Structure 1
Amino acid sequence: MWKIAIVDDERQVLQGMKRAIPWEQLGAEWVGEALNGADGLDVVRQTEPDIVITDIYMPAMNGIDMIEQLRKDGYDGKVIIFSGYSDFEHARQALRFNVSDYVSKPISVPTLKTILTKVIGELTEEEESRQKQGEMERKLSLYEPFIEKEWVRSAVVGTLDSSYREAGRLPEPYRYWTNFSHVTIGIDLVRDARVSEFSLSDWNLFRFAIRNIACEVARKMFSSVEYTELHSTRAVLMVHPRPEEPAELLDKKLHELGVKLINAIKCYLKLVVRVGIGGVKRQWLQIPESTEEAFRAIELRAGRRDPAYALYAYQEDEDDYAFADNLFSVKFYVELASALKASQEAEAKKLVADYMSRLELQKAMTPESVQILASELWGVFTYCLYEAGVLLNDLVPGEQITKELVGLTGPEQLTEWLSDKITLICSSRQWRGNNKHRQVVDYMTGYIHEHYAEDITLAELSEKLYISRNHLSIIFKNITGETFNNYLTRVRIEKARELLLQRTMLVYEVAERVGYKNVPYFSTLFKKITGMNPTDLIK
């Protein structure tokens, strides 16, 4: 309910206005009155109304002085002046103190209602804006670790928004990067028979274990490290040596780190990994270059550091790097995986088309390179869907893919083949409505029906289900056909309709019962969904 206080030295006017205001219709309530500006100050300070209606000429303190003092006190509510004096000077003074309206007495009831409706509409918009801002701040706080993790991944692969590339845009935890050099170490898990049989829970557990081992090993050699997972079986470990560290000593440390990573993961997890070391970069904006170099070294098996270990290092003079620079793009793989996870069919196809166009311009592709790239991208498809609980082998048997790959000899064939597979994935029932997703949505709808009167948010459910907000939003829309907020609104309005038909509660009571404190906003939603005003049901 919006709170309104009235200040006027004419008691008859004051009482008449109290009677004339359609309180329930406006979703408002009277909270206090005063016969002069000095008492008006006390009333406003005690009751904190949303709207103050005041006269100008009053004993003890006039209305303008009262408003000025209220603004100095920090009062930011709406002020409406009703005065028998209508002149430019008073209007000019009122504008200085952010007065919502200035109206000459006498005033008709329809005009009074119109003015209050306008001002309450402004309050409603401001309240919604504050709620959105508060919700955004709460979400940012809730998802700060997730956001930070995504920021690091974007910095590593080169998908950061351009605004972050401006000077001084490094988040607080990473501002130390400007004082260090940077090297990325690519970690690629070998997809042997054991890894291929991992369940989703096993896969998540082993990824967590690899992260812990990699960070523990690296921190014994470098003071600052970051770790981020990429698509499928790949991850990146980033270390930050000091710029003055001798190149030979750093090279030795990086070699030692790579060997320790391979040994530790094999010893503790019985998993085989390949490790690639990217070039040393002085500027943090060059980190994606080091990432690409690390994985190109792995792909080409170039710069092998030790015959006993699958440890490779980037070499600038390697002849095959020029083509590999485009063929094996970590940034492209990550962007494509993200589009598939979000079921963004058009975006995924555009990424593929643009990528293939760039490859064709750079160098003619041989049938062998086409098939290698197709196999690599199918691996990206497989693992990004696997992480979302979908087995791609259920959609397309592995034997069929093997036969199709052999038939791909040119970039145009590859583009068409990938486009067809993207359509198949995004339109499949398994992807749009697999059992896991249905269980998630069943939980969400059940929760809404039980807690519709509370301040439910998608962020809250995201925390309960351990699924990112964006992914949860997509799952809900794919299964139900509508957004989370629309579904919640429909449930609330239906519950409100049931309560109104019982004719035992007033409109504002029903609004509060179903989760709306703002009655005009509730009434607007009710009419939009049902086609009638809530008051029509209680007559």
Structure 2
Amino acid sequence: MIKRTYTMVVIDDIRAVVNGISRDMDWSELGIDIVGTASSGEGGLALVKKKLPDIIVTDIRMPRLSGIEMMRELRPQLPHAKFIFISGYSDFDHAQEALRLGAFDYILKPFTPRQLAEVVKKAAEELERERQHSEELSDMQQKLRESMPLLRQEYLSLLVRFSAQPETLRRRWEFLQMDMQSSPLAVVVLEIDHFVQKSEEIPVNDAELLRFAVQNIVEETVLRVAKGTLFRESVHRFVLIINTGDGASALGIAEECRENAERYSKCTVSAGVSRTVQELDELPVAYQQAVEALTYTFYTGGNSVFFWEHITQRPEVLPRPDADLEKELVYALRSGNAGQAEKLLLMLLETAGKTEALPSPDSAKALCVELAALIRNAVPELAGSPELTELMKALTSPRAVLNDLRESLKQLSKLSCAQVQSRLQFSAQEAIQAAIRYIREHLHLNLLVGDYAAHVHLSTSYFSNLFKKVTGLSVGAFVIQEKMEQAKLLLAGDRPIAEIAESLGYEERSYFSDVFKKTTGMTPTEFRAAYGPRQGNG
């Protein structure tokens, strides 16, 4: 469907033909506007140059300047105009030539108005299709221009991850009109420190503003000294590709970005810096170097910059921790000595880390997990406890840094020792209660402290100290106290005092009486008189 009006001129050296076409036909119904006529080739040429019509209906053969010659001259100026030639049978060969030269169509004399209208209508429809295609193309080009920043980001994101042929990369680089040179290049990977934790504590808008602020700071910092492109890789990570050279050091730029982020935003950033590469197809390697360098913030906790070349001499595997220290740690844990266990744990961490260069973060994390397993195995009672589950989760968290792991190990050590102390305390209570029962059942025997200790399978000294810690009395004092309490119960009856003394392990009544009086303030006779059975008065 034709949506606009197209202009047309009519050129023929026979005026009647011109008038018949221009005046006797209703072109407005087809969306055609006749903007001029001419009766010669020269006049037609001047007319077309002035009016620049969409459709040109012209006789193919005219004196001095034919329709074909006119088309040849006008075609560069009007590449999209539609030439329709009027031709007689004798000019058929010329009409065919005109088509080869780019004419839209031709019509043979004599023709009816309807025949000419059909050809003009087809020309207008073709113009409409071309116009729509041009508009669509223009719209696509506009959208392409608008989406160019996103296309550049997508391209760079793929460029640093996947390999491709250098020529393909170069053509794409030129198509996207990258505002930097394709060589030399370095990659810097930056992260907003602890952003995941921060984003959970602040509104979503504030988190986005924080990311936007960091991005602006980095871009402004870079553009002051070098050409570079920054794109966001994830919620807290950016990738920066920099043109190095001319005094621009990627490491120096990264350090300045870190300083400015700390100075002008409410957060800090860390960065990993690659070596400089010369070709676009080397960028994936440079990107991996920058990512690997960034992992070394594990040791600092953030606000730091690491250069890949500075970490290449790292030991791949940490030296094995001191076996004797490990044994001492296990002993300290199993005895519940929290202070000693923590001291030994830190010594193990420091000893293993005494290398000329920082070991890889993965090997340091593996050491921490091994120490956690050592602690867990030393104290089986920990198995299944919620606290252990949480600490092991923290120890294996991908976001954990060295200080986090060290703190988690200390907490695990304290938890283990507390568990052991709780068990030991419970066991001590059970042992003392068993000893007390044994004492009460054997008050008639004059047993020694060692006899009671042997009954509960403890050494005499440890048992003595533990007994006093639990009961508040020495073993001897407790035995006497129990004997005197039993004596009181017996004296309330009518058994002879000498027999009571013997049943409590006292061979001499006098010694029994002395101990009883010292304990109660009364002799056995006085106690019985006060509390013993009463004789009836009949």
- TM-score of the two chains, using structure 2 as the length reference: 0.50
Larger Rg: 2
TM-score (norm 1): 0.49
- Of structures 1 and 2, the one scoring higher in RCO (CA 8 A, sep 6+) is 1
